[in-house]
Structure 1
Amino acid sequence: MEQWLTMPNRQQKPSPSSIAVAAFARNAIWTMEAQGITEPELVDVVKKKSPRPVSQKTINNVLKARLDDAKLSTFDSLATALGVPLWVLFIPTLKASDLQSPNRERLVALVENYLKCKDDGRHHTETMAAGFAAKADLP
C-alpha cells in the first residue's frame, strides 16, 4: 500500500474509511494546487457555495486526512467548491495530472458514457480499456 494511504499513529491496517479520507485529501490538495487555490480561499468558496456551514477547522482536518467520521455533506461541499464531482476525489489511484483539465473532464465523461451503455457496450469498453492499459505498461 502506498505510504500516503497509511494514517499516522496507527499500527493496524488502515480502515476503508481512512483510505477514502486520505485519497480525498490528497486529491483535493492536488486539485487546489492545479487551480491555484489556497486553503483560506477554499474556505471562502465553501462558505459561498455550500448550503450548510463548514468550519475552517473541519476543512483543515479533511485536507489533512484527520477526519474519519466526517459527514458526506462536508466532502460534497469541498468537492462542489473545487468544481469536481465528489466521487472523483475518492479515487485512491489517481495521479495529479488526472485531476487537471482536460484529463478530469475526460475521466468523468468516460464513466458517464460507460454508465449509459448496455451490457455489450460496457463489455467492449472494458476490453478496450484493458488492452490500452496493458500497452501502456501500467502498474
Structure 2
Amino acid sequence: MTQVNEDEDTPPTIARLMRWGDGFFEGIACLESFLHWIRSGSSSVADLVVDPSTLSSRVEAFESALSELKEGVVSGEMEGGPPVGDDDIDRAHRLTTLLKTWTPGSDLPSEVATLAEQLVAKFGDEQEQTTTP
C-alpha cells in the first residue's frame, strides 16, 4: 500500500481520500484475484496472486476504507463513491477475521467465498471483466 505522508502540506481531506483510495482499490483488486483463485478450484497457495499474509492485510485495509468512506460521507468530508452500509463493513470484518485465522494449506471456511463474492459484487468491477471479450 502506498504510504500517505500526512505533513502540514497535505490537507486532511486529501490525506483521507488518499488513505481511502489505497485501501479500497488495492483491497478490491486482491478480493477479485482471491475470488478467481477460489473459483479456479486450485488448492495451491502458490497460485494466489498475493501471499496469504498480504491478502489478509489488504482485506483489513479494505475494511478500514469502507469505514472511512461511510464516516467521510456522513461528516460531509467526502462525497460520492459507492454507498456503504454497516452490513458491508461487517462482511469485510468477518472476512478479515476468517483470513487471519486461515492456515494456508488447510481448507478455507465456505463462508470466505460467500463474503468475498458479496463484496466483489457490490464494490468490484468483476462484471465488466467477465463480459468483456
TM exceeds 0.5? no
Greater gyration radius: 1
User: Please, what TM-score do these two structures have when normalized by structure 1?
Assistant: 0.29
